[in-house]
């Protein structure tokens, strides 16, 4: 079987209100992903469209977007695992290519969240959990991750200041990311002094809703070598699903889906956490990044805060993480997020990062979580 590579990667600017239709939004990412490739849309065998439903009035977006991008009559599929939809799309694309069904697949993630009010968006996200036993009682995304934060504080002594230092780092890098929603550096005092959303999480501990799109062009190895000078190889894939209800979780100090997905990806790649040069993790909240450090083996349980305290996850640290600003600065257009993370790692491994290039990066990792830890995808890429 041929190896599978990423030939192109793109994303739109993430914004609070894009002002265009979803088809136009997706074109922005598709256009960037195709730049410099020695192919046209006619060479794309299939498309996978990824988003969370109910944010846009379009009932079936896959056909609409494939038509607008002139990819018909090639097949188009719709994939959804809430916030991890486009990394799930990458997994599906890899499988289609490995199976020999397709040679080149476009994975397009998007979300246009500005058509809903904040209250409506929170209600939609809440329904990403169990709609009988949990979401009706107020288990929104911030509330769920606040429970993880409280559990981590109770067990390991984690402080609100340590959480805030994650946002300090990510705002530092987000300030120089031209694709980010928020391009402003924040001080520790500004973060700690922001309004409480769900204690202990404050406004600046939380990512924001956004409009945006991403696109990843996946190709069979021999094809990828012919259409791009620097193919980025997919060497590890892991995926897992935890219980829908948080009351069914074994622990609230780590995400089991991420832990399991990480183990699978490391095993498939034949490497360990110590071999990762740069990582993108799902920092929908500041506590989420701390949990990711520990779930992925960058730090032992309870010791993740040491990495941020010692600035080891900055671009010049031993384990650079989210040096594009992460979700906290870029914003979180649900279906586009995983693809955006993948794009960042592709650019890092090609030496094309515009925010903060990690010197000599050869192996990168993407950690993308759906819901409040329901779905977990870990992808490992190599130059």
Among candidates 132, 157, 359, 138, which has minimal Cα distance to 244?
Answer: 132
Using a pLDDT cut of 70, give the percent of the chain over it.
99
- The predicted pLDDT at position 20 comes to 96
Query: 3-class DSSP state for residue 288?
Result: helix
Angle, nearest 10°, between helix axes 141-156 and 286-295? 60
pLDDT in tens, 283-312: 999 999 999 999 999 999 999 999 999 999
pLDDT at 53 > cutoff 50: yes
pTM above 0.75, yes or no: yes
pLDDT in tens, 167-194: 999 999 999 999 999 999 999 999 999 9
pLDDT in tens, 65-93: 999 999 999 999 999 999 999 999 999 99
pLDDT in tens, 256-280: 999 999 999 999 999 999 999 999 9
pLDDT in tens, 13-35: 999 999 999 999 999 999 999 99
Q: Are strands 363-370 and 375-382 parallel, antiparallel or unpaired?
A: antiparallel
Please give the Cα distance from 93 to 187 (Å, whole number).
Answer: 41
> Where is average pLDDT lowest: 34-43, 115-124, 209-218, 358-367?
115-124
**For the residues 153-157, what does the mean pLDDT come to?**
98
**For the residues 355-365, what does the mean pLDDT come to?**
94
| Annotated domain spans of the chain | 4-116+209-227
Confidence of residue 354 (pLDDT cuts 50, 70, 90): confident
> Where is average pLDDT lowest: 35-39, 245-249, 255-259, 372-376?
245-249
Please give the Cα distance from 276 to 146 (Å, whole number).
Answer: 29
**For the residues 340-365, what does the mean pLDDT come to?**
95
- The predicted pLDDT at position 19 comes to 93
Better-predicted residue by pLDDT, 379 or 137? 379
Yes or no: say if 238 and 262 are a contact pair by the CB < 8 Å rule.
yes
Give whole-number Cα distances, 182 to 15, 16, 330, 362, 373, in Å: 8, 9, 6, 28, 25
H-assigned helices in the chain: 22-34, 61-68, 85-98, 118-126, 141-156, 160-174, 188-192, 221-227, 256-269, 286-295, 304-309, 326-330, 337-349
For 195, counting Cβ atoms within 10 Å of its Cβ (0-12 exposed, 13-18 middle, 19+ buried), the class is exposed
Residues acting as catalytic residues: 83, 332
- The predicted pLDDT at position 2 comes to 54
pLDDT at 1 > cutoff 50: no
- The predicted pLDDT at position 355 comes to 76
Average per-residue pLDDT for the chain: 95
**For the residues 123-133, what does the mean pLDDT come to?**
81
Handedness of CA 345, 347, 353, 359 (dihedral sign): positive
Highest CATH level, class, for 4-116+209-227: alpha beta
**For the residues 337-351, what does the mean pLDDT come to?**
98
Handedness of CA 288, 290, 295, 296 (dihedral sign): positive
């Amino acid at each position: 079987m041929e190896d599978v590579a990423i030939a192109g990667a793109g994303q739109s600017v993430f914004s609070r209100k894009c002002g265009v239709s979803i088809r136009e939004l997706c074109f922005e990412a598709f256009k960037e992903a195709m730049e410099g490739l020695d192919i046209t849309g006619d060479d794309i065998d299939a498309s996978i469209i990824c988003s969370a439903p109910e944010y846009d009035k379009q009932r079936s977006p896959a056909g609409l977007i494939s038509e607008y991008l002139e990819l018909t009559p090639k097949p188009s599929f719709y994939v959804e695992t809430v916030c991890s939809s486009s990394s799930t799309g990458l997994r599906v694309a890899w499988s289609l290519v490995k199976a020999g069904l397709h040679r080149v697949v476009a994975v397009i993630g998007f979300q246009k969240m500005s058509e809903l009010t904040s209250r409506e968006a929170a209600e939609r996200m809440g329904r990403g959990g169990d709609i009988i036993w949990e979401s009706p009682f107020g288990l929104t995304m911030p509330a769920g991750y606040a429970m993880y934060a409280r559990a981590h504080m109770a067990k390991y002594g984690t402080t609100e200041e340590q959480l805030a230092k994650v946002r300090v780092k990510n705002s530092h890098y987000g300030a120089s990311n031209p694709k980010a929603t928020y391009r402003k550096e924040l001080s520790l005092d500004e973060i700690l002094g922001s309004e409480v959303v769900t204690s202990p999480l404050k406004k600046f501990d939380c990512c924001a809703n956004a409009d945006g799109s991403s696109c990843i062009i996946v190709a069979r190895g021999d094809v990828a070598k012919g259409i791009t000078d620097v193919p980025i190889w997919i060497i590890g894939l892991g995926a897992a699903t935890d219980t829908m209800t948080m009351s069914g979780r074994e622990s609230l100090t780590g995400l089991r889906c991420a832990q399991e997905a990480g183990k699978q990806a490391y095993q498939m790649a034949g490497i360990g956490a110590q071999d990762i040069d740069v990582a993108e993790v799902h920092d929908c909240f500041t506590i989420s990044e701390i949990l990711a450090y520990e779930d992925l083996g960058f730090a032992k349980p309870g010791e993740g805060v040491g990495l941020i305290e010692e600035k080891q996850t900055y671009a010049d640290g031993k384990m650079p993480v989210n040096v594009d600003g992460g979700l906290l600065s870029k914003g979180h257009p649900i279906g586009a997020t995983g693809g955006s993370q993948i794009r960042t790692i592709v650019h890092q491994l090609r030496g094309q990062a515009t925010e903060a290039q990690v010197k000599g990066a050869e192996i990168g990792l993407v950690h993308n979580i759906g819901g409040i830890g329901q779905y977990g995808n870990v992808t490992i890429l190599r130059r």
